[in-house]
Amino acid sequence: MKIFRAIFAVYCIIAFLATFLIVIPCYFIIFNLWSKEKAPHVAHKLSKFWAHLIFALFFVRCKIENKSYIDPKTQYVFVANHLSMLDIPAYAASCSNTFRFLAKAELAKVPLLGYVINNLYITVNRSDRADRHKSIEKMKATIDSGLSVFLAPEGTRNTSGAPLLEFKDGAFRLAIAAQVPMAVLTLKNAHHLHSPKQLLSMSPGTLHGSWSKPISTIGMTEEDVPRLKEMVRAEMLKYLQS
């Protein structure tokens, strides 16, 4: 079984790199020919297509329940748990809303991928307090411009074996400051398909996930951050433990 997972992982890496080389020129065209207002929407459609293509090549079915809870015309602060590298395409495929991810600043330095990150994502240096504050301002500006934002409140992939890591405050402060609903996506078994601890350990199968009903932040203040965090945590745990 370990040998099969390793061989399959090598195949998936090759398949990913092949698709990556195909879509990168497409992103370049989008960011250079479309306006700053329209480019994110076109790029998000490309990201969704890429995500579905990756899952097809990986022989992974991405089954996300309750998509009807998410209004494609509404802005949200999207949050989700983070279990494996499969999460990123799952996030992209999970809804039609155009959003910007919050990503680690180190990713922006990766050749070619960094081009997409710098144009489509919001980056943050988590070790720099001033940069963390600046990223909040960038996310608020993103929402003000009519787009949504997508974050993993755990801050990193969960390799602990516990259902969830401790949540950071940023996503919840942002939702309250912007007074937009918080939409909660919970992925259940991504770490079984691709191990967060071993790059060369992957298998085909079905990735399960579910949206919860969005949580309104209208009228909430900074004092409600802990309560909002607990509400989101409870929603995720309810699905993970079902």
Give residue-wise pLDDT tens across range 1-12: 899 999 999 999
Handedness of CA 141, 81, 229, 218 (dihedral sign): positive
Q: Can you give the pTM of this predicted structure? A: 0.93
Neighbour-count burial for 55-68, b at 16+ CB within 10 Å, e otherwise: beebebebebeeee
- Classify strands 205-211 and 182-187 as parallel, antiparallel or unpaired: antiparallel
Residue 183, Cβ density class (10 Å: 0-12 exposed, 13-18 middle, ≥19 buried): buried
Alpha carbon dihedral 102, 103, 105, 110, in 10-degree steps, equals -140
Q: Which domains does the chain have, with CATH numbers?
A: 2-240 (3.40.1130)
| 220 vs 25: CA distance, rounded Å | 43
Give residue-wise pLDDT tens across range 80-118: 999 999 999 999 999 999 999 988 778 778 888 888 888
| 120 vs 141: CA distance, rounded Å | 14
Hey, what amino acid is at 102?
A: L
pLDDT range class, residue 133, cuts 50, 70, 90: confident
Is residue 132 predicted with pLDDT exceeding 80? no
| 152 vs 186: CA distance, rounded Å | 10
129, containing H or E segment: helix 129-144
